[in-house]
Chains A and B, each alone.
Chain A
Amino acid sequence: MAGWTFKWLFWIALYVVPVIFVPWAMARSWNQHHDTDARFSPRELLKRGELGLLSLVLTSSVIWDLLQSQFTPHTRALGAILLAVGGIMAVNVWVETYCRQHSGTDWHPGRAWRDSRNMALLVFSMAAVAQILMDRLTKVVNP
Chain B
Amino acid sequence: MSAPAVALAKVQSKRRIVVVRLADSAQAVAALSGIFALLLIVFPVSFPRLVVNGWQHGQLMPVMMAFTLLLDGCLYFRVAHLLSAKPGPVAAACLGSLPLLVVAGLSVLLQRAVHHLLSFDLPNLQARVGEEILAHTYLGLVAAIFLPFLVIRLLQQFKGQGL
A→B interface (CB under 8 Å): 1, 4-5, 8, 71-75, 78-79, 82, 85-86, 89, 93, 114-115, 117-119, 121-122, 124-126, 128-129, 132-133, 136-137, 140-141, 143
Contacts and interface: CB of A to CB of B under 8 A. Distances in A.
B132 to A, nearest CB: 6
A140 B131 contact: yes
Q: Does more than half of chain B's interface fall in helix, strand or loop, or is it mixed?
A: helix
Given A72-B113, A121-B27, A122-B29, A128 B128 contact: no
A115 B22 contact: yes
Q: Chain A interface mostly helix, strand, loop or mixed?
A: helix
The interface centre, meaning the residue of B22, B36, B132 with most chain A CB atoms within 10 A of its CB, is B22
A132 B41 contact: yes
Interface in B7-31: 21-24, 26-27, 29-30
Given A72-B117, A122-B29, A128-B33, A89 B150 contact: yes
Contacts of B93: none
Interface string B87-124: 00000000000000000001001101100110000001
Interface of B: 21-24, 26-27, 29-30, 33-34, 36-37, 40-41, 44, 48, 106, 109-110, 112-113, 116-117, 124, 127-128, 130-132, 134-136, 138-139, 142-143, 146-147, 150
Contacts of B131: 71, 133, 136-137, 140
B37 A122 contact: no
Contact of B33 (A78, A79, A129, A141): A129
Given A75-B132, A129-B36, A122 B143 contact: no
Contact of A125 (B33, B40, B143, B147): B33
B150 A85 contact: yes
A132 B139 contact: no
Contact of A72 (B21, B40, B44, B132): B132
Contacts of B116: 72-74
Nearest to A90: B26
A58 to B, nearest CB: 13
Given A74-B112, A74-B113, A79-B139, A118 B37 contact: no
A141 B124 contact: yes
B117 A115 contact: no
B17 to A, nearest CB: 19
Nearest to A136: B131
Given A72-B117, A121-B30, A140 B128 contact: yes
B138 A119 contact: no
Contact of B138 (A89, A117, A129): A129
